[in-house]
Structure 1
């Protein structure tokens, strides 16, 4: 099968490129596709739109393997799936509506709450001149951009202990991220994540990131720590938690993925409070798939082939969902 790996290639360390696909990850994915007998071609979508369209048409793919993040704005992850639809190209992963919803942390939390899923209380701030009352929240609170990933815009200063401090921090964050910010009740505890792959049975093993709690990071898995190359040395798969708790995290992930309309693969991020309560923070509709990451380790633990399992399960889910047989290469 001819497969176009559509991605934004990370070419530097700028904040705007965090979340893009590294050259190493792209090569790993292309090699996996070849090992599975497919005919892959890399389509880097960071250039002019005309060039991207020309590359896609030239590739004549049976399937687009979509990892394209887009550059900016609340709709950036939605743009490329919408483009594939316009070009009549089948693609892996979620469609534009679901990706837009999952990237919007405010709307995601509204959907989660409507489905009875536990998520910390919050206030959405869009207009600097009309900041809603914050004293309804339980303090401390956490201030973060409403439409970002990879912990962009998050640092030790994101934690606020009073309404005045939270308002001040929200206005500073809003100046940098004018599409909106969340002021969210802070849940101390452990960072858990659950990879989700439809063709591998849904929610996989719960993973935990055990970053050191220091005075500098105030116990937060912030932007600086998210970019630390050593972060995977703090990754535990499976997380060392009781099986009943892991089963609950997987069940919550399954419900959240269905509620948001996500397809093929996703990832849910939780906080485990000291009293054992689980809080669903957000759901990533377009998680990266690097070797050694939480998704890769959980997939191997589930019995998938280390070199090809992740790619195979994403492609298989898309082919099954699209209701078409896999073409021969």
Structure 2
């Protein structure tokens, strides 16, 4: 499958995280595979900097944290429940809706039934229910009529072997917000805006797999992000408020990156929550969490160690 490995970090990123931590700490590397549990038992690290995406199943991001919880080893980032919840787009949206946090109207479909009663308004966006890193979200995921929708949905449900979220398209500007910290001390970094005007004319203004992984390359990077976003104070406050509330109700810990899009009335809606944000180390690469951290005055090493320090404080290890 074209996007099978999109979620996994490269050796360059893994080594950059190791080097950042090694400035202040002794570091050992443990691969997130079937042998990880015994290696954790053997080495008993004081704390684990977790960036493991896991493999197989809707709860794959929870695999390593669940091992660490069983062994009572502290780790950075959210717990197994939050990681599993945030990877399931429908459950995330249900929780947000319960707490009155705006997000686009949606249904979940297995493919054959389309969407019950056709109660959604076109255009629509189709997303696999349990993927990250724009996997399964292509230019063709934007559909504007029922015939195209049905054909696209059936093909993608079969391809990804999972239900799909069908949600109303939000036509406004898109932002992503990096969050760090816990509880009342959680804070946002400067907001990043996605500049869809940089995409080719035949591309729908969404951050699709094509935009993220095919059109945007190191040799020919897209100038698709601006940080800080050029927005007025009122909108900035609205975005930060909805992001921090989302971070809180989903019980995110230490760090996350949360995507926001404006609706037809210009009001911010939550579209994605990523409690394991990507952290490409090269400033020339488009990686939003490090970009926001740099705008806040941090270099890569400071950012990584700030996340670690947040977890150390949360566990009372300082």
Task: Calculate the TM-score normalised by the size of structure 2.
Answer: 0.90
Within the candidate set 23, 34, 54, 1:70 is matched to 54
How far residue 204 of structure 1 moved from its aligned partner, in angstroms, is 1.6
In structure 2, distance between residues paired with 1:206 and 1:94: 22
Within the candidate set 148, 166, 169, 2:149 is matched to 166
Unaligned runs of 5+ in 1: 1-12
**1:204 and 1:250 in contact (8 A); partners too:** no
Q: Does 1:283 align with 2:261?
A: no
In structure 2, distance between residues paired with 1:301 and 1:59: 37
Alignment of 1:176-191 (within 5 A): 176-191=159-174
What residue in structure 1 maps to residue 31 of structure 2? 44
SS of equivalent residue, structure 1 residue 42: coil
Unaligned runs of 5+ in 2: none
How far residue 183 of structure 1 moved from its aligned partner, in angstroms, is 0.7
Within the candidate set 174, 182, 204, 1:218 is matched to 204
SS of equivalent residue, structure 1 residue 63: coil
In structure 1, distance between residues paired with 2:27 and 2:93: 37
Alignment of 1:289-308 (within 5 A): 289-291=279-281, 292=283, 293-304=287-298, 306-308=299-301
How far residue 310 of structure 1 moved from its aligned partner, in angstroms, is 1.3
More strand by share: 1
In structure 1, distance between residues paired with 2:194 and 2:221: 8
In structure 2, distance between residues paired with 1:83 and 1:232: 39
How far residue 31 of structure 1 moved from its aligned partner, in angstroms, is 1.2
SS of equivalent residue, structure 1 residue 184: strand
CA RMSD of superposed structures (Å)? 2.0
Q: 1:129 to 1:157 in 2, by over 3 A?
A: closer
In structure 1, distance between residues paired with 2:118 and 2:153: 14
SS of equivalent residue, structure 2 residue 300: coil
How far residue 77 of structure 1 moved from its aligned partner, in angstroms, is 0.5
In structure 1, distance between residues paired with 2:56 and 2:294: 33
What residue in structure 1 maps to residue 127 of structure 2? 144
What residue in structure 1 maps to residue 188 of structure 2? 203
SS of equivalent residue, structure 1 residue 282: strand
SS of equivalent residue, structure 1 residue 266: strand
Alignment of 1:108-119 (within 5 A): 108-119=92-103
What residue in structure 2 maps to residue 16 of structure 1? 4
In structure 2, distance between residues paired with 1:231 and 1:198: 31
Within the candidate set 216, 232, 237, 1:247 is matched to 237
**1:121 and 1:137 in contact (8 A); partners too:** yes
How far residue 109 of structure 1 moved from its aligned partner, in angstroms, is 0.6
In structure 1, distance between residues paired with 2:209 and 2:265: 27
In structure 2, distance between residues paired with 1:25 and 1:213: 26
Q: Does 1:267 align with 2:284?
A: no
How far residue 189 of structure 1 moved from its aligned partner, in angstroms, is 2.8
How far residue 256 of structure 1 moved from its aligned partner, in angstroms, is 0.3
How far residue 132 of structure 1 moved from its aligned partner, in angstroms, is 3.6
Which whole-Å deviations, capped at 9, do the CAs of 1:5-34 have from their partners, x for residues lacking one? xxxxxxxx9522112111111121111111
In structure 2, distance between residues paired with 1:75 and 1:40: 27
**1:123 and 1:134 in contact (8 A); partners too:** no
Moved more, 117-126 or 157-166: 157-166
What residue in structure 1 maps to residue 44 of structure 2? 60
What residue in structure 2 maps to residue 10 of structure 1? none
